[in-house]
Every structure is written in C-alpha cells, then in structure tokens.
Amino acid sequence: MTECKNAISLYARTTWMENVGMQRNSTGLTRSFIFPRSSPLKISAFFLHNQARNFNQEIDNPMIKKCIFPVAGYGTRFLPATKSMPKEMLPVVNKPLVHYGVEEAIEAGLMECGFVTGRGKRAIADYFDTSYELEHQIEGTGKEQSLKGIRQIIDQGIFLYTRQQEMKGLGHAILTAEPMVGNEPFGVVLSDDLCIADEEGVMAQMVKLYHQFRCSIVAIQEVPHDETHKYGVIEGENFKEGLYRVTDMVEKPKPEEAPSNLAIIGRYILTPDIFDHIRNTEPGKNGEIQITDALLKQAKEGCVMAYKFKGRRFDCGSIDGFVEATNYCYENVYKKGQ
C-alpha cells in the first residue's frame, strides 16, 4: 500500500502547487509563483521551486523508454488471409496495423520497441527494416514519398525481437519479454486495438500519468453491459474524473457477474514487479496465464490505476472493427494527409 499512498501524495502535492499559481505549458510546469496572502499553508519558495524543477526534469527525461508488442497470435478470425501473413501486417488503408501502434509508442517517447513474435511473423521484422531493392527502384520518384513515415520510425526506434514458443495467454507473452525489459517500467501495446486521438496518443497520455503515480496503469473504456464477456473488467474507487484506483479485476465476466462496464483495452504501463506476479499466477482456462490475474495481485499489494483515455478505439481483432477502422482512417487520416 506504500506505493499507492506515495502516488496519491505526489499527485496531491503537485495539484496544490498548481492551485497556488504554477502555470502549465507544453513541457510541464513553469517556475512562476503567486502566493495568496490568505493561504494557511506555510511552505518555502525554495521547496516549491525544487518540486517544479524536478517535475520538469521528469517530463523532459521520461523514465519509460520501452514498449512491448505481443504479436505472436495466429489471427484465426482473419483466415485464410492470415494463413501466410501476420494479422498485424494487414493494412488499414496504406499502413499495416502494427505501424499505428509503434507510431503511438514512439510519439510517447518509448523508442525501444520489443516484439514478442512467433512462427510465421518474419514480415514484421522486415517491415521495420530497410528494403534496399525496393528503395533503390523508387529512389527519386514520387513514390519515394510514401516511405517517409516508416523511414522516420526506423530512424527513431530501436527494434528487438523474441519468440513466444507456445501461446499461453497475454500474461505469458509479457513474461517472455522480461529479458528485453529488465528492471524498468514499460509500456504494452496490443496492435489489435487501434487508437486514434485528436491531440496526443493514448500511450503519451498514460506516460504523463505514470510520472505522477509511479504505478501500473491500464487504459479503460465503457462498453455495453452485454459485451463485458469480451474483456477484462475493473472495479475501482473514483480518484478523479476518468481515473480510478483498481480494487478488483475480472477476466471476461458474464454480464450479470461483471463488477462494472469499465473494460480494459490494449494499452498498459507496467512496473517491473509485474513479472514476479505473472510467475506466481496459476494458468486459467485453456492453460493461459491472464495478465488481469497478475494485475489484480499487484493492485491488492500495491497500486494499479485505471485511466479512461481520450480518443477513439477500434477493435481490429474482429472483421467488423477492422473494416470500421479502415473506413475511419481513410476519411479522417489518409485523405487529410496525416
């Protein structure tokens, strides 16, 4: 419980500082102070100055550098297309599904992208690499402009790969990534969930929250009650608007047994102690290790926050959701040249 208390204390302290006159800008907090004469709190300007400086340093030097992409699944709902092609490489207009997730991670400052792959997934590694033959053929033509986005990602990112030998659930896939992560907090992006946000991506929003709370964070959204059986569902204490401290989690509950309609989607920030929790988690249905079970242990022993993100999510693990995402991205991203 110490971690949770410290996180809430840090949030309360920075919130009070904002209320006494510290102004936000695009990089965090400025060092302008206006002390109301009637303030009953006695605190030194030196202390506030240092707190603001530390906060700015954390924003400029993010503590989270790594993001894991579990991409070993078979994609059976898209057969026969996925018989010889990774579902993560299915194009949403002119970019493969996994491209959007990596783009979102890099925007959030998570430059080290680790992929937990499986057999038949070499196309993903090839995509995030130079294609000398193709690039030589189109060099100097108008088609070369089409590669600008992926070239930027390749230049900015560091890409690592490991294989998940058996499909034993999301928890097992994340545990497989432990050698790539080490003892650091890290993000997790499930490419099946394509998230589009107007201002900043979902992972960028969650990284900012991690700077405040220093604990695991899951992204959530409200879903119809009759669809809770498709998701991990949380119950939590409403900490502030759109933010909950998790008190319970249930994996794919029946609608009548669901603790709420707040469903976990494929965006996580996890602290490294999650690996021990996964190791100590018994396999559930079909021998799979569920990340929700490990997160619940973490929530009981420490602190896990659930964040209702700003943006729109498409379930590209289903054909209907994939088509919806394609239509939306064509009208709102591709045609606008974004």
Structure tokens at 96: 């493969």
- Regarding predicted confidence, which is higher, 107 or 38? 107
Mean pLDDT for all residues in the chain: 83
Of 18 and 30, the structure prediction assigns the larger pLDDT to: 18
Residue partners of 274: CB distance under 8 A and separation at least 6: 174, 216, 294, 295, 298
How many Å from the N-terminal Cα to the C-terminal Cα in the chain? 44
Among residues 239, 227, 101, 74, the alpha carbon closest in space to that of 164 is found at 74
pLDDT of residue 5: 54
Quick one: which of 189, 204, 222, 205 has its CA closest to 97? 189
pLDDT computed for residue 145 by the predictor: 87
- Bridge-based pairing state of the strands 66-70 and 112-117: parallel
Could you tell me if 43 and 164 are in contact, meaning their C-beta atoms sit under 8 angstroms apart? no
Work out whether the CA dihedral 294, 177, 123, 142 comes out positive or negative: positive
Confidence of residue 312 (pLDDT cuts 50, 70, 90): very high
**pLDDT tops 90 at residue 124:** yes
pLDDT in tens, 211-239: 999 999 999 999 999 999 989 899 989 88
- Where are the domain boundaries for CATH 3.90.550.10 in the chain? 66-334
pLDDT at residue 45 is higher than 60: no
pTM (predicted TM-score): 0.82
Q: What is the pLDDT of residue 263?
A: 94
Q: Is the pLDDT of residue 144 over 90?
A: no
Q: Determine the pLDDT at residue 320.
A: 95
CATH fold of the domain at 66-334: Spore Coat Polysaccharide Biosynthesis Protein SpsA; Chain A (3.90.550)
Contact criterion met (CB below 8 Å) for 53 and 24: no
Is the CB of residue 110 less than 8 Å from the CB of residue 203? yes
Reported as a single tens digit per residue, the pLDDT across 257-278 is 899 999 999 999 999 999 999 9
10 Å Cβ neighbour count for 137?
11
